[in-house]
Structure 1
Amino acid sequence: MSLELDLQLASAASGLPDAAALRGWAEAALAAADFTDPAEMSVRIVDEAESAELNEGYRQKSGPTNVLSFPFELPPGVKLERELLGDLVVCAPVVAREATEQGKPLGAHWAHMIVHGTLHLLGYDHLDDAEAATMEGLEVRILAGLDIPNPYGDDEAP
């Protein structure tokens, strides 16, 4: 599998992961989901104002959020060399605040957000208990493979 990652930095935050780390976390999610085709995705790192605007506009929820996923839908009958997965928008200040509040290393929380968002781009969701158990279990396994503890805090996968 080859992943082309388009990184867009639209945040003044410090301590941001580099493109290689972001790509590695996304590739780990793709591999665990048995996705092997050449693919492309964008990761846009933003501040709270842009995250809040997008969250309101697309989810009708006020305020910024940690990660937003925008899966790409290819028009019927169109084929591309590389599958376009979509875009992730990650709010750096929210991720940093959550890591501090949850007592997690910042890099581990970034990894979780990229894995979580990438799985959304692949169609995973957590709208009901069964979906949440599947998605969260996969996240826990992916992160364990990256030597990152269970982000949900329990000793076992959901």
Structure 2
Amino acid sequence: MDITIVLAAPGWRAAVKRPEALARQAAEAALRESGAAGAITVLLADDATVRRLNSDHRAKAKPTNVLSFPGGMPGHLGDIALALGVVRREARQNGRRPADHLAHLVAHGALHLAGHDHLEAGEARRMEQAEARVMRRLGRPNPWKEGSAATRRSAP
């Protein structure tokens, strides 16, 4: 699999042990789950960078946890960007380890690039189930399990 990880915010290393390796594993597991193939780039950025991307591409002038941008060329599934500050805050608020939240959000973004969505109830449930299977493969907690502190995201 052709997965490139770009560490643009060094603070990721303080928040998560080996963030590049974890992001790669999560993206690979999501692609295997979906049966999709193609190149993906994962940008581990800061909040300001993701706020700018969110403003430029979605007209929302605020950072969000994860953004997915479908690729425009054959063989390129697309790009994923994650905001360190948002990921840390959400993990803390939901009683999750930042590494588990990072893995979940990378899987979420990769599943979007593979064609999953969560706009309607049935789609959302199928995507949540795929995310749970990916997290199980990674040996990480199911973010949707009853009693978990995970919250639904509005970001794509």
**Is TM > 0.5 for Structure 1 vs Structure 2?**
yes
Partner AA of 2:97 in structure 1: P
Is 1:73 the equivalent of 2:55? no
Displacement of 1:131 in angstroms is 1.1
Match for residue 115 of structure 1? 107
Pairing 1:124–2:79 present: no
* Structure 2 match to 1:55: 54
Structure 1 residue aligned with 2:39: 40
State whether structure 2 residue 144 is matched by structure 1 residue 140. no
Percent identity, aligned pairs only, is 38
Gaps of 5+ in 2: 148-156
Rg larger in structure: 1
Cα distance in 2 for partners of 1:109, 1:119 equals 15
Q: CA deviation at 1:12?
A: 3.8
The residue matched to 1:70 in structure 2 has which SS?
A: strand
Q: Amino acid of the residue matched to residue 42 of structure 2?
A: V
Deviation at 1:89, TM superposition (A): 0.6
Paired residue type of 2:4: D
Instruction: Verify: 1:15 aligned to 2:7, yes or no.
Output: no
Distance in 2 between the 1:21 and 1:50 partners?
Answer: 21
> CA-atom RMSD, angstroms?
1.8
What is residue 79 of structure 2 aligned with on the other side?
A: 87
2:26 corresponds in structure 1 to: 25
Deviates more, 1:111-120 or 1:3-12: 3-12
Q: Which runs of 5+ in 1 are unaligned?
A: none
Q: Deviations over 1:112-140 (max 9, x none)?
A: 01100000111111111111111111101
Between the aligned partners of 1:60 and 1:128, the Cα distance in structure 2 is 22
Question: What residue in structure 2 maps to residue 6 of structure 1?
Answer: 4
Give the secondary structure class of the aligned counterpart of 2:146.
coil
Query: Is the helix fraction higher in 1 or 2?
Result: 2
In structure 2, C-alpha distance between the alignment counterparts of 1:84 and 1:63, rounded to whole Å:
27
Which portions of structure 1, spanning 4 or more consecutive aligned residues, are displaced by more than 4 angstroms? none
TM-score by length of 2: 0.84
